Amino acid sequence: MVTDSAAASSAWGGGQRVNNGAINVDPSGKEITPIAAILKKNCNARIGLVTTATVTHATPAGFAASISSRGNENSIAPQYLNRVDVILADDPPFLLQVEGARVDHAAHLNDIAGLLGDQLAFDDALAAMLAMIAGRDDILIVVTSDHGNANPGLNGMGKNSEVFGHMMEIFG
């Protein structure tokens, strides 16, 4: 009479009704392809699951897994390997690595405009992260450079360098 989390999430994530306790497996035992697998295959979509429970709990699993018993979380996790790009759960130890990699790419190309733009974009991303965790004392953010090569000046010096030309284009 009352839908459990597995059946409810399967209705949203798989588009069909299933029995309580099942995740994207219909009453006849046939697996239903969850939306994450469909979007990944057809659109190469990036998929993320965020929860304050274990990430293999019934609700997140309903969007990315198919299994006859919601309690079989050890069989849910491997199904995420080719379907889910980002998984965030409120379980210790938790680690999120965020990189501003385009800064390095721009430096290698001696693209000063790209380098500055990407440094500013990374600064904006860092500001957003800091705002999200404001007031919390259980999260550590470590910020470091890729390998500190953000110096396109290595391709020459002075007015004859390629970098000087780029700087003049940008700043006049």
Rounded-to-integer distance, Cα 117 and Cα 121, Å: 6
In a domain, 54, yes or no: yes
Enumerate the active-site residues.
Answer: 5
In a domain, 97, yes or no: no
Residue 96 lies in a domain: no
**Domain coverage including residue 51:** 5-89
User: What is the per-residue pLDDT for 156?
Assistant: 54
* Shared-domain flag, residues 109 and 165: yes
Q: Are residues 26 and 60 in the same domain?
A: yes
Largest CA distance in the chain: 79
Of 60, 66, 62, nearest to 79 by C-alpha is 66
Q: What is the pLDDT of residue 120?
A: 86
What span, in angstroms and rounded, lies between the C-alpha atoms of 139 and 79? Answer: 29
Per-residue model confidence (pLDDT) at position 169: 74
Residue 142 pLDDT: 74
- What pLDDT is attached to residue 171? 72
Ranges under pLDDT 70 in the chain: 91-97, 144-167, 172
Q: What is the pLDDT of residue 22?
A: 97
Specify the pLDDT at position 68: 96
| Residue indicated by tokens 């029995």 | 19
Closest CA to 86 of 45, 129, 48: 48
